[in-house]
């Protein structure tokens, strides 16, 4: 083999290595973009849910409070009648 062929072979190998490195970096870059977009969507959804929960009134809490007050009043009225 002549010196020129060896140099040409080495340059071809180096060029192939550079191309493969660029392909790997592009794959990593695509995965990074997909993760970043998914993270942004999750963050926006979490913020929207938090705002929704903050501004939505809790009607069940009012219903339970009314029910407990009526029950407690009846219970204490019965005790007062039995003690007399």
List the pLDDT tens digit at each of the 84 positions of the chain. 688 878 777 788 877 787 777 777 777 788 899 999 999 999 999 999 999 999 987 777 666 666 655 555 555 555 555 555
* Rounded distance between C-alpha atoms, residue 82 and residue 84, angstroms: 6
Cα–chain-centroid distance for residue 23?
A: 29
* Rounded distance between C-alpha atoms, residue 13 and residue 19, angstroms: 10
Residue 16: C-alpha distances to residues 7, 19, 25, 29, 31 (Å):
14, 5, 14, 20, 23
pTM exceeds 0.85 for this model: no
Residue whose token pair is 């062929």: 5
Domain ranges of the chain: 3-83
């Amino acid at each position: 083999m002549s010196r020129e062929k060896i140099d040409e072979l080495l340059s071809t190998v180096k060029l192939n290595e550079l191309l493969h490195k660029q392909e790997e970096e592009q794959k990593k870059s695509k995965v990074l973009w997909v993760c970043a977009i998914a993270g942004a969507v999750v963050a926006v959804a979490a913020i929207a849910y938090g705002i929704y929960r903050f501004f939505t009134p809790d009607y069940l809490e009012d219903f339970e409070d009314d029910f407990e007050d009526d029950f407690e009043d009846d219970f204490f009225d019965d005790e007062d009648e039995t003690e007399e």
